[in-house]
Amino acid sequence: MNEWWRGAVIYQVYPRSFCDSNDDGIGDLAGVRSKLDYLAALGVEGVWLSPFFRSPMRDFGYDVSDYRDVDPAFGSLEDFDVLLKTAHGKGLKLIIDQVYSHTSDQHPWFKESRRARNGPKSDWYVWADGKPDGAPPNNWISLFGGQAWSWDTRRRQYYLHNFLAEQPDLNFHNPEVQAEILDVAKFWLDRGVDGFRLDVANFYFCDPQLRDNPPKNSSGGFARPYQHQRHLYDRSQPENLAFIETLRSLVDRYQERMTVAEIGSDSYVARSIEYTEPGRLHTAYNFLLLEGGPLTAALIKGAIESWTSASAWPSWSFSNHDVVRVRTRWGGPEAGDAFAQVLLGVLMCLRGTIFLYQGEELGLPQAEVPFDRLRDPEGIRFWPDSLGRDGCRTPLPWKAGAANGGFSSVEPWLPPDQRHGEFAADKQERNPCSTLNLTRAFIRFRREHHVLRLGEIEFFDAPEPILAFRRSDGATRLVCIFNLGAEPAEYGLPVKGRALDYGLPGKLEGDRAVLPPWGGLVIQELPRGGGR
C-alpha cells in the first residue's frame, strides 16, 4: 500500500485568493492549474483545495448549495477535471474540502426540508420545537456568536446551525442523510480525487435529546459566548465515530486515497487521536499550534509530545485560512524574514504530515484589511475585538510592482496589502536566500531524509528559547536544534555529530551549536566512538 500522505508536505490552496485567470478579481480553478509548476517546484507532494462548490458565499464556500458542482466563480466541472488531470501529470496529489456538517440554506435539501414537517426531506436537518415560552430548544451557542438556533416561520420550528444562520446543520441521525453524504464522497472519488479534508469532522452528530451544555468552571474572561460552555452535546458524539468508520470503509475501496480531519475541541490532541485510530481517518490536524501561543520551545515540544498514540498518525500546521498568519501571530507586526524562515525550518523537521498554507512559503505577514473592506462574517461580527479571517485570505502577490501584486488587473475581492509586494514570488525567485527558496530547500531536505518523514521524535532538555530534538529510524539519527529567540544562543550537544546543510544560519563548534537569532542546525548523529 502506498501511504503517500504519511509524512508528506501538503500545500493548502484557498482558490479565491490564489490566482485569477480571467481577471474578474476572484481566483479560480484555471488559475490554480496555471500555478501547478510553481507548486511542483516547491516540492510538495499534494495540494489541498479549499471549497470550490456552488455556494451563495455567505461563508465563502463553506456554505454549500450543490456538493456535486463547481461554483461559476471558480469555473466548471470540466475545469476541475482538467486541473486534476494536470496535477496528476505533474506528480501532485489533489485532496478537496468536504463540508458535511452543514449546507447552505439555499441548498435544495433545506428548501425542501423547511416546507413542511411531513415532507420527503423534513427530517434531513436538525429541527426542534421551542420551549413553552417560545425560547430556543436549549442553550447551545453558535461559534459565530448568538444562539445556535434560528426560527423558521414556515415550519414554525427552530433549526440548528453551529455556524451562520445560513448554514443549517444536517441531521446525521437520519440514515438517508448519511447515505446521501456517502454518495457525494463517492462522486468525487470516482472523479479521481486523492482524498478529502473533512471540515469540522467531529460536528456531524448532535445529542438526540438536545440536552443543555454545562458551563465551563472558569472565571476567565472569554472573548466569545461559545467559549463559556463545555460542548458535551453539540459535537463529538459517539455516533460520529461510527459514521467516520463507514466513510473510511468507502475511501478504502479506492487505491491510494486519504482523509484528514479538521478537529475543533477543548481537548485538541486527544480528540484528534480518537478520530485517527485504526479503521477511522488517516490523519487529523487540530488548532493547538494554530491558536496556541506565545511561541516558545515548550509550546512546540508540548504539542508534539502530547500525541501519545503509536497507531494514530498526526498532522501539523502553523497557518491556515482560519487564523492569523503565523509570522504575525507568533512574531508580531515587526517580525522579520529570519523569524518566518526558522518557523518553516522547524515545521519541516516535525514528525507527522505537514500542511503549508498558501503564502507561508513567501513568509507573508498578516494583511491589514480596513473595517469597511471586511468580507468575513465572523470578523464583522466580532470587530474590533477580532479582525476575523480576511487578513490571512488576501490575494497572493505574484509579481513585484504589478497592480494588485499580479493577482489581477481589476480590484480583487479582498484588498491586497501593499506591504505584500515586497514578498512577491517573482522577486523571491531571483534571490537564492529568499524565504521561498529556503522553503524549497527545507522540503527537498525532508524528502531526501526519510527519517524526517517517518522517524520517531525525541526531545532533549534544553533551556528556552532552544528547541532540540532527535529524529531516528534505527539506522539514521538527525538532531535538529533551533533558536526561537531574538538573541544569539549556544547549546551543548548531548551527542557527537556533523552539521548538514539545512539552510538556516548556525554552526557547529566542537560539541556546541552556535546559533544566531532565529538560527538552526540539523546534525547527523555519529555512532558512539565514531570520528568526525
End-to-end CA distance of the chain: 39
117 within some domain: no
115 within some domain: no
Number of domains into which the chain is organized: 2
Q: 308 CB contacts (<8 Å, ≥6 apart)? A: 273
435 and 507 both lie in a single domain: no
Which of 411, 445, 479 marks a domain boundary?
Answer: 445
Give pLDDT, residue 474. 87
151 within some domain: no
What's the rounded Cα separation, in Å, for the pair 411 and 404?
A: 7
Is there a cis peptide before residue 384, judged by omega within 30 degrees of 0?
Answer: yes
What's the rounded Cα separation, in Å, for the pair 374 and 247?
A: 37
493 and 402 both lie in a single domain: no
Instruction: State the residue range of the domain holding 476.
Output: 456-525
393 and 495 both lie in a single domain: no
386 and 491 both lie in a single domain: no
125 within some domain: no
CATH of the domain at 335: 3.20.20.80
pTM as predicted: 0.97
482 and 378 both lie in a single domain: no
435 and 462 both lie in a single domain: no
Residue with cell 475511501: 251
Residue with cell 520517531: 456
412 and 512 both lie in a single domain: no
| Phi, psi angle pair for 124, to nearest 5° | -85, -15
Residue with cell 524574514: 337
Q: 483 CB contacts (<8 Å, ≥6 apart)? A: 342, 465, 466, 489, 506, 515, 516, 517, 518, 519, 520
CATH of the domain at 495: 2.60.40.1180
519 and 378 both lie in a single domain: no
DSSP state of 423: G
Which of 417, 445, 473 marks a domain boundary?
Answer: 445
462 and 410 both lie in a single domain: no
Positions marked catalytic: 199, 262
375 and 397 both lie in a single domain: yes
Mind listing the pLDDT tens digit of every residue in the chain (532 residues)?
Answer: 789 999 999 999 999 999 999 999 999 999 999 999 999 999 999 999 999 999 999 999 999 999 999 999 999 999 999 999 999 999 999 999 999 999 999 999 999 999 999 999 999 999 999 999 999 999 999 999 899 999 999 999 999 999 999 999 999 999 999 999 999 999 999 999 999 999 999 999 999 999 999 999 766 667 788 999 999 999 999 999 999 999 999 999 999 999 999 999 888 899 999 999 999 999 999 899 999 899 999 999 999 999 999 999 999 999 999 999 999 999 999 999 999 999 999 999 999 999 999 999 999 999 999 999 999 988 888 887 776 799 999 999 999 999 999 999 999 999 999 999 999 999 999 999 999 999 999 999 999 999 999 999 999 999 999 999 999 998 899 999 999 999 999 999 999 999 999 999 999 999 999 999 999 999 999 987 544 4
The C-alpha cell of 501 is what? Answer: 546543510
382 and 463 both lie in a single domain: no
312 within some domain: yes
Which of 421, 445, 469 marks a domain boundary?
Answer: 445
Distance of CA 65 to the CA centre of its chain: 22
296 and 361 both lie in a single domain: yes
